[in-house]
C-alpha cells in the first residue's frame, strides 16, 4: 500500500512539473513581445494617435502656384509593438493621395526599417525601396527618412524630417537633394493631435 502511495505521489509531482514547463513555453512569446526595442517603443509613443494636417507644397514645375490643403493621418502600433503603422490622406491638386507606412524593427540589422504604399505610385508598395533605398533614424527628438530616388538618368535624395514633436503637434518637412548637394524644399506639414478616437483616415 505504501509503495502504491509513493508511486501515485511521484506521478502527480511529475505531472505538475510537465504542466508547469508547458505553461512556461506557452507564455514565452508574450514575454518576448514585451521586450520590443526601446527606440521603436519611443517612436510609437511619440506618434500614436490621430492627427489633422495642414499641408503646403512649394511652387514647382508640376504646381507652378504651389498648393495648400488639409489632410489627416493615424499612427498605431502593430501586434506586440514590433511595427508602427501610418495611415495617411494627403491633398493634391488632382485629388487625394492615400498612403500606408509600415515601420518595423529589424533584429538582424539592429535598426528601424520602413516601407511606403502610395496610391500615387504605379506599383503602390515600394518593396525594392524598403530593402535598398530607405534609411530611417529616430533619436527621440527627430524622425528622419532618407530615400534614394532615380528618375530617368537623374538620381536624387528625398529627405523627410519630423521635428518640434510634442504631445499635441509636430512639423514635417520634405526636401529634394541633388547629387550636387543642393537642397530644395518641396512641402511643409503641420500636424495637430486630434481629440477624436484614432482610426483609419
Give pLDDT tens digits along the chain (201 positions): 444 443 434 433 444 444 343 444 444 444 444 456 899 999 999 999 999 999 999 999 889 999 999 999 999 999 888 899 999 999 998 899 999 999 999 888 888 999 999 998 888 998 887 888 999 999 999 999 999 987 667 888 999 999 999 999 999 999 999 888 899 999 999 999 997 654 444
Name the CATH topology of 38-193: Lipocalin (2.40.128)
Q: What gap in Å lies between CA 27 and CA 37, rounded to an integer?
A: 19
Report phi then psi at 18, rounded to 5: -65, -40
**Rounded-to-integer distance, Cα 136 and Cα 101, Å:** 12
Identify the pLDDT of residue 35. Answer: 53
Angle at 194 between CA 120 and CA 201, to 5 degrees: 30
SS3 at position 63: coil
E strand or H helix that includes residue 99: strand 95-106
| Cα 138 to Cα 20, 75, 135, distances in angstroms | 41, 16, 11
Integer Cα distance of 170 and 190 in angstroms: 6
With beta carbons less than 8 A apart as the criterion, state whether 114 and 131 touch. no
With beta carbons less than 8 A apart as the criterion, state whether 75 and 68 touch: no
Q: Of 158, 146, 90, which Cα lies nearest the Cα of 114?
A: 146
User: Which SS3 state, helix, strand or coil, does residue 57 take?
Assistant: strand
The grid cell for 189 is: 506639414
The CB density around residue 183, as the number of other CB atoms within 10 Å, is 13
Residue-wise burial string across 9-43, b where 16 or more C-beta atoms lie within 10 A, e elsewhere: eeeeeeeeeeeeeeeeeeeeeeeeeeebbebbbeb
Q: Are 160 and 143 in contact (CB under 8 A)?
A: no
Determine the distance from the C-alpha atom of residue 126 to the mean position of all C-alpha atoms in its chain, rounded to a whole number. Answer: 14
Amino acid at each position: 500500500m505504501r509503495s502504491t502511495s509513493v508511486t501515485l505521489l511521484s506521478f502527480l509531482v511529475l505531472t505538475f512539473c510537465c504542466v508547469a514547463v508547458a505553461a512556461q513555453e506557452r507564455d514565452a512569446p508574450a514575454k518576448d513581445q514585451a521586450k520590443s526595442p526601446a527606440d521603436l517603443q519611443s517612436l510609437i509613443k511619440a506618434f500614436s494617435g490621430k492627427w489633422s494636417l495642414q499641408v503646403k507644397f512649394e511652387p514647382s514645375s508640376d504646381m507652378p502656384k504651389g498648393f495648400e490643403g488639409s489632410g489627416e493621418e493615424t499612427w498605431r502600433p502593430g501586434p506586440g509593438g514590433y511595427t508602427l503603422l501610418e495611415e495617411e490622406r494627403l491633398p493634391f491638386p488632382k485629388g487625394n493621395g492615400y498612403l500606408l507606412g509600415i515601420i518595423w524593427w529589424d533584429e538582424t540589422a539592429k535598426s528601424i526599417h520602413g516601407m511606403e504604399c502610395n496610391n500615387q505610385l504605379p506599383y503602390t508598395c515600394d518593396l525594392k525601396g524598403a530593402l535598398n533605398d530607405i534609411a530611417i533614424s529616430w533619436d527621440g527628438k527627430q524622425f528622419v527618412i532618407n530615400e534614394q530616388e532615380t528618375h530617368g538618368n537623374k538620381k536624387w535624395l528625398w529627405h523627410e524630417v519630423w521635428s518640434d514633436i510634442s504631445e499635441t503637434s509636430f512639423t514635417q518637412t520634405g526636401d529634394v537633394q541633388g547629387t550636387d548637394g543642393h537642397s530644395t524644399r518641396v512641402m511643409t506639414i503641420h500636424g495637430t493631435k486630434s481629440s477624436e478616437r484614432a482610426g483609419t483616415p
